[in-house]
Chain A
């Protein structure tokens, strides 16, 4: 049992591959029965195959990785449910499922890999969340170029949504050709701000800190003159953790590096327009020096190196931390629970403080959450756009009184009582089901800035009218709109990881080692085991052990997408 799960995983993969090959050989060579159904539309294919509704209906094959949390009602399954029925009735598109699997422990990616390696029939359309798998599938050559389809068939709403950031295509480019349609997600989900205990600030008579220097004064006061009467050893003025990375989704110190003009563990655009690795820049050295100083003074947790994201949030929720860095949605979770422990705790969002020369930075959020791939052999590739155009036009930001105003499917994710009032989620007969997950593409359709716009409207005192606004008002934490405003006001400091391409050759063999020496060097500097100047030696080793080669490869890729 202590052999480690890795070995048994490998073993089972080997076994399954063998089984898969055998099964693949005996399998039939694809189903041809729908050839008949599509024949009648051939007449119009040459000029304009695109239709808002297909009559007679056509079919699209797909595969599903079902979220284990997703529930079904009325004896439905992912293959046959209210959403597939809706697509057939409204769009004339019949969704056929080749297979489906409950997506625990990455089961979907594994099954997809096996299907690919055993030469099973590939689905017409598939949405892939796993970045590595997506790259492998594209490289397998089984999926077609989609850029021309997108230009031809995508609706204006969809095109505009994609144009918010043209870099969303970058990971899926091959020789300048777009090989997959990025699945858009809400923007700024991982952009940082600071959550601060406003009640402590008020009791101490302090202003919200705007620079690192002011931040230090505040942290010192939190620790040594704690307004809740906590002993200095009990307070964690700034709760951060970097067990996994210095650049992650909650409670990391990347914004401190931002104050010195760089973001660690990602590729930033340098002064010469080329990409450079944030961790090896001079700014990182200064940031480490600052972190070391804060560590010595007890401003950050003694065991920050052992704490992951959730652990770092614990003292904040327990009412023992003054500041917790993280995204705008944290008012809803985890900070909402603080009042259970400390009755009058008030968390407020504030902007990322600037460094001595006015610089500030935070890591940005990419607008995508996966990719849609279209099979080379698909007969009606434009049907994907029939489906998704409808989603973008009607579901992405439904207006008052429109079809999806209250939710996607009545009786599933919303319901209305006899008097026309929208029921609370818990009161839906038969229970609430997140039926948006039944749709062909994950989450239906999202316009990156739609949610932020809704939140901003609320923050500026607007009334909640549209679906997104109501959702934001009812389901998210009370401070979320204000936090969204802070995020948007500091939009210019957001630095995205500019390298989104496939893993390069040297990265494959060297990146793990480089990451290892990096986090070792950083942690040892912060913990005072090595002097700050050992940073220079780390950079030297980093460059010599493959870092230079990787930088070159990354920039070669960047030149192709610029």
Chain B
């Protein structure tokens, strides 16, 4: 389908073959470079922070003594993961409003002018990344906590005998022990580098931030689905899959080299 001017009533066999026309269209559009760039920026930031924040958070959480409190926090940060972006989009528009939104009011108290989070391109990217991390870091934390639970307690005991402080123990035992998991999670996430999060952006973006907020997925949605250009939609899907596959292969090699981790 990616190489056809696909028409549903002609089917796969009857549709006209157009070679690379669909791909050419993807790159010929006046704004396609911008769109791809937006996708990469947003996705890379999300990738980095979605790895870093849960990593740090889970280590901090692990240091807590009260089991009940730890469980409580863990569940609490995990909850937003289950909310849909359709709902969150509506909530975010309200709380980030320049006109009495709770965030801007709080900023007003410390003397900062209201910020148009969803209407200014740069702030839009910031908002998208931060809100995505807020929603998803609980999920990542769970993975790391599982890894932390697997660390052999005798290592800590030995370190204590040697007189290592709590901080030293974290630095030399905890972190090295979960680095491999972090690399695996990062490797898997790399495959998603061209997915900047359709559900989220689609529910938050608006024409004021098209320049900095339009990503491949929203652009394909408008072109392929709304205008019925199935061939083009498939072409972009294929393009994304190929890029993702290359990235995964590379990162898999790297993971093997640095973390001695391999699946096959």
What is A's interface to B at a CB cutoff of 8 Å? 2-7, 9-11, 13-14, 17, 21, 113-114, 116-119, 132, 136-137, 139-140, 142, 233, 242-243, 301-303, 305-306, 311, 503, 508-509, 511-513, 516, 519-520, 522-524, 527, 545
Contacts and interface: CB of A to CB of B under 8 A. Distances in A.
A503 B223 CA distance: 13
Given A6-B198, A6-B221, A6-B233, A513 B12 contact: no
B69 interface: no
B262 to A, nearest CB: 25
Contacts of B25: 509
B176 interface: no
B11 A302 contact: no
B197 interface: yes
Contacts of A520: 207-208, 210-211
Contact of A2 (B29, B99, B192, B221): B192
25 contacts: A3-B192, A3-B198, A6-B220, A6-B221, A7-B217, A7-B237, A10-B233, A10-B237, A13-B230, A21-B11, A113-B8, A136-B8, A136-B9, A301-B99, A303-B93, A303-B97, A305-B206, A305-B207, A306-B206, A512-B222, A512-B223, A512-B227, A516-B210, A520-B208, A527-B208
Nearest to A511: B227
Contacts of B1: 14
B118 interface: yes
Given A13-B230, A508-B229, A516-B31, A306 B199 contact: no
Contacts of B9: 113, 116-117, 136-137, 139-140, 142
Per CB-CB distance, the 3 closest pairs between chain A and chain B, nearest first, are: A4-B198, A519-B207, A140-B9
Contact of B8 (A11, A117, A301): A117
A389 B41 CA distance: 60
B119 A306 contact: yes
B131 interface: no
A11 B119 CA distance: 33
Contacts of A306: 93, 118-119, 206, 208
A117 B206 contact: no
A4 B199 contact: yes
B217 A4 contact: yes
B225 A9 contact: yes
Given A116-B8, A301-B99, A303-B98, A6 B224 contact: yes
Contacts of B31: 513, 516
A13 B230 CA distance: 10
Contacts of B224: 6, 10
Contacts of A4: 195, 197-199, 217
B197 A513 contact: no
Contacts of A233: 99
Interface residues of B, number: 46
A1 to B, nearest CB: 9
A137 B228 CA distance: 13
Interface string B210-221: 110010010111
Contacts of B118: 303, 306
B244 to A, nearest CB: 10
B18 to A, nearest CB: 12
Contact of A305 (B7, B99, B208, B227): B208
Nearest to A2: B197
A519 B214 CA distance: 13
A5 B198 contact: yes
Contact of A17 (B11, B98, B228): B11
Most buried by A among B11, B12, B97, B192: B11
A513 B29 contact: yes
B30 A3 contact: no
Nearest to A18: B12
Nearest to B97: A303
Contacts of B29: 513
B1 to A, nearest CB: 7
B10 interface: yes
B30 A513 contact: yes
A524 B206 CA distance: 12
Most buried by B among A6, A139, A142, A311: A6
A117 B8 CA distance: 5
B141 interface: no
B127 to A, nearest CB: 12
A2 B199 contact: yes
Contacts of A523: 206-208
A6 B217 contact: yes
Interface string B152-181: 000000000000000000000000000000
Most buried by B among A117, A119, A139, A233: A117
A136 B228 contact: yes
Nearest to B32: A513
Nearest to B85: A2
B234 interface: yes
Nearest to B234: A10
B132 to A, nearest CB: 8
Nearest to A516: B210
Nearest to A133: B228
A118 B119 contact: no
Nearest to A314: B94
A136 B7 contact: yes
Given A4-B217, A17-B11, A508-B227, A305 B119 contact: yes
A157 to B, nearest CB: 35
B217 A117 contact: no
A139 B230 CA distance: 17
Interface in B179-201: 192, 195, 197-200
Contact of B206 (A243, A301, A512, A545): A243
B40 to A, nearest CB: 16
A242 B97 CA distance: 16
Given A302-B99, A303-B98, A516-B214, A3 B195 contact: yes
Contacts of A10: 224, 230, 233-234, 237
A305 B199 CA distance: 19
A70 B243 CA distance: 45
Nearest to A544: B30
Contacts of B207: 242-243, 305, 516, 519-520, 522-523
A242 B207 CA distance: 9
B217 A545 contact: no
B8 A303 contact: no
Given A136-B9, A306-B208, 18 more contacts: A7-B240, A10-B233, A10-B234, A10-B237, A113-B9, A114-B8, A117-B9, A117-B10, A139-B9, A303-B118, A306-B119, A508-B227, A508-B229, A512-B222, A513-B29, A516-B210, A520-B211, A545-B30
